[in-house]
Structure formats: structure tokens, C-alpha cells
């Protein structure tokens, strides 16, 4: 969904804002945003597993041990990562400024940053912008969805409703990311809010499950960022008792759909990407084995460059599967691109006509590649994109 075309429907209990604070080099670019709940609400998050964690990630993790927050403060243009004690102080000071302006406890403000690594986050833009940031808070999350972007072509937003306890509840998910994408919970940030009532421990469990099925099954370039963060907040404003059982499962399904839509939009927006493919692996002994092969194929540079050239190179697909460390019989393998079978029972099926059909599928913006590697129950998928010249050009010049 393109947030620029229309405003986003409100989620009871939350206000949003995005504005230009002067953090990015480009004058007038939106680069500072916030999500604010009416009062402290149950909040959960998942963070990067990169051992080099940005200052805002470390501070956010500490503050969310009690599974509660009032606000999220997000800046783009500066990751505040690998910045030592000065970066830690900047994360503390900027959130303190926002807490004072809101009239809430400093510990209830969760910081998130994205952008260039290695530069301490400047305080002055926050000091100048703080009065406007609070005054401009409103129910529409459109400007927030734009203010968190870096190299993205546009916002990534998804909305879902679900029914439980004879009530209709809403879920809104907003994300950013285009490069350094290989979340293992790149510069991926995502935020989800709901008006449903949930307790913190349930919120954390649902978020982890939804993240594993979505953001942990995508890759653009194999790089896991220092700042990856997904935050989930529940206001409970739509009423009812805290969701459990079927209600909690309905919420998890809605959240997974919303995060999945945002995650797929991130892959489609991969820097320089022209094609998105779902790598589907079937017939293994376990889901874990299937996932390992799907991830290995999805992150193979040879596979991704073949995607860019629309080349149905089954050899690269099987070679990547073969080095994943999972046992399977290549003589039982079948490889299909879209609905075109290109390899089966140890032999290629690519004659001139079949290759032309498979290449035509690969010219589509989105398609699937399926590997059936046996008769077992294990199945898994990974979403990936092609890798071409534009990715190198953009990232070679990123800091300059």
C-alpha cells in the first residue's frame, strides 16, 4: 500500500508524527518521527542479533525489559552505531528531550535510529524540532511512515482487521528497509500497533512468532544491520479482556499478514532490485532443513545475479542447495520456475523452448522458484530479490 496516496486509518490509542529536523543531508527531507500512546501500554520488540548493536538498540532493549512503553522516537539519516559512550549519551539525551516534552518518564521512550554508521547522533536537531514534533502529533501515520526512510523508494505500510470477543480490532504495520537486509532477530526498522487488548508476555510471544515467519525469511544482500528493530504496541482501546486462546491466535494471524506484506515490500524495494522470487523448498526431513536450504539459495550471489539476468540456471540453484549442509538425494530433485519444470530426476529438462518459457517467467516482477528434494514433510520458503549493477553503484557512493 502506498501511504502517499491516502491517509492511514487511525488506530485507537495512538498518535503519529513525522517531520524534517535537519538530520539528513538533504534539506527539507523528513527524518524524525514518533509513535505516542495515550498512556504507557504493553510493548514488545525484537532486535538485531548482530554482535555490534547500535546505542539505541541497547537502550531500547534495557527499557523494554518491563514490556511497557509510552512512545517510540525514530530518526533517519544517522544510525548512531559504533559511536561509543558519546552515542550512548546521545540516545539518552534525545529520548529525555522527548519525554520532557510529552510529560512522561524517560524510560517509557524507546529510541530507534537508521542511516549511516559511525557518526554520533547530533542533539541540536532534536532540540529545535521537539516543540513541533509534539504539537504535530495526530491520528494519521502517513508522515511517520515517510520520516523513517533512508534509501527506500517509498513507505511500506500494511493494515489488517481481525475479529475476537465479538469485536473488530485493527493492526497497522509500518516498516523501512532496502539495503543491508538479512534480518536475524538492514537497516530494517518496523513498527506495529493494535487497538486490541494484550498482556506484555503474550505480545512478546506473538511478535517473535510473526517475525520468524516474515522478517526472518527475507534477504536482499545477506547483511544484518546493527540497528534492526521491530516494535509492537497494544493500546487495548477497542475494549475487551486481554486476548488469549482463539483471540490471541487471530491476532497473530493478522499481525503475521501485516508484517509479511511489509517484509515483502522491503524485498521488492531492494536497492537496484527488479525482480522478487520466493524460494520454496519441499520434501525434506524437517522444516529446519528446508529453511536452511531456502536461505542458502536466497542469499547466493550467483543465484541472485542469475535472477538479474533472467537466466534459468538450475545448476546454481542445486549447487547452493548442495552446500547448505542438509542431506538430500540430487537424483530425486525437481526444480521449477513458476510453472516451468527445468530439472527432474538428476537431469535437465531445458531444451530451447523450455528455457525460453522459464526465462519469460523470470522477467516478471514476482515469481516463485520451487525445489522438491524428496518425499519428506519439511517445507519452508525465503523471499529474495535479484542483485545487479544498481546495488553496487548505490552502496559504493552511500556515504558520499
**Residues labelled catalytic:** 187
Residues 6+ apart with CB under 8 A from 115: 23, 24, 75, 76, 77, 78, 79, 150, 187
Where on the phi/psi map is residue 260: left (φ > 0), alpha (ψ -120 to 50), or beta? Answer: alpha
Q: Give which of 143, 134, 141, 152 is closest to 189, Cα–Cα.
A: 152
C-alpha cell at 162: 481481525
Beta strands in the chain, from DSSP E residues, in sequence order: 14-19, 32-47, 68-78, 109-116, 156-164, 167-176, 189-194, 218-219, 229-234, 276-284, 334-337, 340-344, 347-348, 366-372, 378-385
Q: Using the Cα atoms of residue 72, residue 78, residue 82 and residue 87 in order, give the sign of their dihedral.
A: negative
Planar angle of CA 259, 264, 269, nearest 5 degrees: 125
Cα separation, 375 vs 372, in Å, equals 8
Burial class (CB in 10 A: 0-12, 13-18, 19+), 167: middle
DSSP assigned state of 387: -
* DSSP per residue, 10-40: P-TTEEEEEE--S-SSSTT---EEEEEEEEE
10 Å Cβ neighbour count for 4?
11
For 359, which DSSP code? H
Looking at residue 138, the DSSP 8-state letter turns out to be: B
Q: Which residues pair with 230 in a beta bridge?
A: 46, 190
Amino acid at each position: 500500500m502506498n501511504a502517499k496516496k491516502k491517509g492511514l486509518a487511525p488506530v485507537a490509542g495512538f498518535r503519529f508524527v513525522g517531520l524534517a529536523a535537519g538530520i539528513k543531508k538533504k534539506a527539507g527531507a523528513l527524518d524524525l518521527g514518533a509513535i505516542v500512546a495515550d498512556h504507557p501500554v504493553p510493548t514488545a520488540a525484537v532486535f538485531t542479533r548482530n554482535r555490534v548493536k547500535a546505542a539505541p538498540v541497547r537502550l531500547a532493549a534495557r527499557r523494554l525489559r518491563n514490556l511497557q512503553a509510552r512512545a517510540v522516537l525514530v530518526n533517519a539519516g544517522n544510525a548512531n552505531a559504533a559511536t561509543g559512550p558519546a552515542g550512548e549519551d546521545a540516545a539518552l539525551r534525545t529520548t529525555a528531550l522527548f519525554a520532557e516534552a510529552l510529560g512522561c518518564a524517560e524510560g517509557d521512550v524507546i529510541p530507534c535510529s537508521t542511516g549511516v554508521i559511525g557518526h554520533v547522533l547530533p542533539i541540536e536537531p532534536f532540540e529545535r524540532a521537539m516543540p513541533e514534533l509534539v504539537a504535530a502529533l495526530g491520528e494519521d501515520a502517513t508522515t511517520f511512515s515517510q520520516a523513517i526512510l533512508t534509501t527506500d523508494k517509498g513507505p511500506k505500510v500494511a493494515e489488517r482487521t481481525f475479529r475476537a470477543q465479538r469485536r473488530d480490532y485493527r493492526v497497522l504495520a509500518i516498516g523501512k528497509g532496502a539495503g543491508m537486509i538479512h534480518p536475524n532477530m538492514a537497516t530494517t526498522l518496523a513498527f506495529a500497533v493494535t487497538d486490541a487488548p494484550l498482556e506484555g508476555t503474550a505480545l512478546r510471544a506473538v511478535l517473535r512468532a510473526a517475525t520468524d515467519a516474515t522478517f526472518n525469511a527475507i534477504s536482499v544482500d545477506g547483511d544484518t544491520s546493527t540497528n534492526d528493530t521491530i516494535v509492537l504496541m497494544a493500546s487495548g482501546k477497542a475494549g475487551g479482556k486481554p486476548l488469549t486462546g482463539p483471540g490471541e491466535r487471530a491476532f497473530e494471524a493478522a499481525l503475521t499478514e501485516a508484517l509479511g506484506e511489509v517484509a515483502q515490500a522491503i524485498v521488492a524495494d531492494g536497492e537496484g532490485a527488479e525482480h522478487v522470487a520466493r524460494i520454496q523448498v519441499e520434501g525434506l526431513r524437517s522444516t529446519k532443513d528446508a529453511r536452511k536450504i531456502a536461505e542458502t539459495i536466497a542469499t547466493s550471489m550467483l543465484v541472485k545475479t542469475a535472477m538479474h539476468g533472467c537466466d534459468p540456471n538450475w545448476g546454481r540453484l542445486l549447487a547452493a542447495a548442495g552446500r547448505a549442509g542438509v542431506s538430500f538425494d540430487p537424483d530425486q530433485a525437481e526444480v521449477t520456475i513458476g510453472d516451468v519444470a527445468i530439472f527432474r530426476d538428476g537431469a535437465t529438462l531445458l531444451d530451447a523452448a523450455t528455457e525460453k518459457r522459464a526465462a519469460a517467467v523470470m522477467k516478471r516482477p514476482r515469481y516463485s522458484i520451487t525445489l522438491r528434494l524428496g518425499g519428506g514433510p519439511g517445507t519452508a520458503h525465503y523471499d529474495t530479490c535479484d542483485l545487479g549493477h544498481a546495488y553496487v553503484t548505490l552502496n559504493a557512493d552511500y556515504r558520499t
